[in-house]
Every structure is written in structure tokens, then in C-alpha cells.
Amino acid sequence: MYVDRERVRARAKRHNRVFILIFGWLFAILGLGLMCGGVWMALEGVEFRKGADTTEAVILAMRGKTRESLGMPHVRYHVAGKTYEATLTSASGDMRPGMVIDVLYARDNPEDVRLAGSDGLFSGVLLFMGLVFGGMGTLFLVVRKIRENRIDRLTAAGYCVEAEVTNIELDEEQYANGRHPIILSCRYVDPSGRVYLFRSGDAWYDSHEIVLGKKVRVYMERTRPSNYYVDVESVIG
């Protein structure tokens, strides 16, 4: 049986690149952006505090409060005998009208005011989220690269057999673009009568594109048949 192995490898890499672009790089770039935002906010907060003083403010109302949102505190405070009002851009769950809180105001512009301690909290949240998303993206890229290298080795030097498709199922744990990927189960009997059972990875095809009983190519390691790759696209069409 002649198999264009270079074509199979190129096709597998093309599919991997799509997933890597969508999931891996998206999460990695998002994580990097969040971490940069956290660092910038922390540095900006340090600069603001250098030219700021603390004073007490009274919450007059929680602007924009709904069942789903705390709203933002609208406060009144006094600087050098002058009264100011402003709506802050951060809040906590225990805030309520009449409550006295500490705020920071810029000495050269008392109207520039913010909740005391809020910069550190927000920068910490952004940094944490950046680490989570960046870590997930990086882990996904590493795992996909390992898988791609494994597929490369199998399609280049593995033993190629044609297995019979015995079952097609939806992977309901995965979902994208309004559909679930499919997983093929297939069976191969070698000349000595030994039976091999295989399962493909997630394949983004519709189940009606594949007919039970058709042959699908499987590349497996000769000395370790449990290491294999099911070329789902070989059964399409």
C-alpha cells in the first residue's frame, strides 16, 4: 500500500497550527497583556501615591447599583476647606451610603481621587489572571508541540495499517463553533490474527462524513503498538 507520508505529515501540522493559533497563542498573548497591564497599574499607582495625600470621604450613594453589580461609590470629601464630590472607579462589597472611607487625592489636583489601596488590589488581580492565562497558553503550546513531534515520528517511520472504523462518537466535553468534535474507534487484525483497537483524537468533522466499516490509516510504532496516530482525514471522501 503506497502512502504519501509527507502529505499526511503536512496535513497533520496544518490542523495543529489552527488549534495552536486559536487556543495556545490566544491564551499566551492574553496572559502577557494582563501581566503587562498589572505591572503598568502597579507602577502608575506608585507614582500617584508619591504626589498624593490621604483624607476621609463619606459615601453619598452607590451609583449604578443593581442586583448583579455593587455599583460605584459617589463620595464627598474636603481638602483645604473646599468640598469635592466624585464617583470612584472601585468598590468593595461592604460599602453603603453614609460609610466613611479613606481616599487618596492628588495634591496638585484634588479632583483626581481614588480609593486608598485599590491600585495594589487591581494590579495583583491582573498579574494573577495573567499568570493563569499565560500558563495555560504556554502549557497548551508545549503539549501540542510534543504531540506534533510524536505524529511526525509516527507518520515518517511508523508502521502504517488500514483499520476498520467500528464506531463514531461525539466528544461532548469539547465544543467550538456550535458543534462537538468526533472520535473514531477502529479495529485492525494483523495476518497472524492479532486484534488491535485504536481511538482517534478529536476530529472536527461531521459524523455523516464517515461511514462505518470504511478503512482509516493508522500509524503505529512497531515495537510499541500502543503509541499510534489515527489519520482521520484519510477516511473522509
Query: For residue 22, is it within any domain?
Result: no
**Which domain, by its residues, includes 56?**
51-116
Q: Name the band, by pLDDT with cuts 50, 70 and 90, for residue 14.
A: low
Q: Name the band, by pLDDT with cuts 50, 70 and 90, for residue 3.
A: very low
111 & 163 share domain: no
- For 97, the 3-state DSSP assignment is coil
Query: For residue 146, is it within any domain?
Result: no
H-state helical runs in the chain: 5-19, 26-50, 118-157
167 & 93 share domain: no
Question: Of 125, 128, 105, which Cα lies nearest the Cα of 115?
Answer: 105
Interval 11-22 mean pLDDT: 56
Q: Is 26 exposed, middle or buried (0-12, 13-18, 19+ CB in 10 A)?
A: middle
Tell me which of 91, 116, 141 is where a domain ends: 116
Q: Which of 32-41, 44-53, 163-172, 203-212 has the lowest mean pLDDT?
A: 203-212
Residue 132, all three cell numbers = 493563569
Please state whether the predicted TM-score (pTM) of the whole model is above 0.85.
no
Contact 32, 136 (CB under 8 A): no
Contact 160, 190 (CB under 8 A): no
Please give the residue that has the higher pLDDT: either 127 or 2: 127
Q: Name the band, by pLDDT with cuts 50, 70 and 90, for residue 42.
A: confident
Query: For residue 133, is it within any domain?
Result: no
Query: For residue 202, is it within any domain?
Result: yes
Query: For residue 64, is it within any domain?
Result: yes
Query: For residue 78, is it within any domain?
Result: yes
The whole-number pLDDT of residue 12 equals 46
Query: For residue 89, is it within any domain?
Result: yes
Tell me which of 116, 131, 166 is where a domain ends: 116
Mean pLDDT computed over every residue of the chain: 85
Q: Is the pLDDT of residue 171 over 50?
A: yes
Q: Which of 49-53, 99-103, 111-115, 125-129 has the lowest mean pLDDT?
A: 125-129
Query: For residue 221, is it within any domain?
Result: yes
- Per residue in 60-115, pLDDT (tens digit) is 999 988 777 788 999 999 999 999 999 998 888 889 999 999 999 999 999 999 99
Q: What is the total count of domains within the chain? A: 2
H-state helical runs in 158-175: none
